[in-house]
Amino acid sequence: MELSNCAKIFKALSNEQRLKIFIMLYKNCCAPEGAKVGAEFRIKNNSCCPISGTLEKAFTKICDCMKLSRSTISHHFKELQNAGLITCEREGQMYRCKVNKEAIDSIKNFLK
């Protein structure tokens, strides 16, 4: 993996609020079965992953547990997408969000 790509991923995770968002997506979408999730990351209703590895209504859920304006959260989602860490798609009012495990793996492998 390119050095610049790696720096891009690290930059996306360098902001605490954005890292929190990412962890929430990660823990709710892609964490292995039984992985513990800290209370502060617990999403209201705890409804998770009707489609395997994909979080439905991700944006709304994240908004529910962050004290940031929706425009700011939208911005952070864009940054995470931009770094290739997540993929989002809208279908009507449905906002689906998926964590790219390959991106995580490439960070891990980077400093092998």
Partner DNA sequence: GGTCTAGTTCGAATGTGTTCGAACAATAAA
Partner DNA sequence: TTTATTGTTCGAACACATTCGAACTAGACC
Size of the site for its own copies (CB under 8 A): 20
- The residue among 75 and 101 lying less far from DNA, judged by its C-beta, is 75
Give the residue, chosen from 1, 10, 64, 74, that forms a contact with its own copies under the rule CB under 8 A.
10
| Least distance between its own copies and beta carbon 79 (Å) | 12
Q: Is 38 left (phi over 0), alpha (psi -120 to 50) or beta?
A: beta
Residue from 112, 71, 30, 35 nearest 22 by CA: 30
Establish if 59 lies at the interface with DNA (CB under 7 A): yes
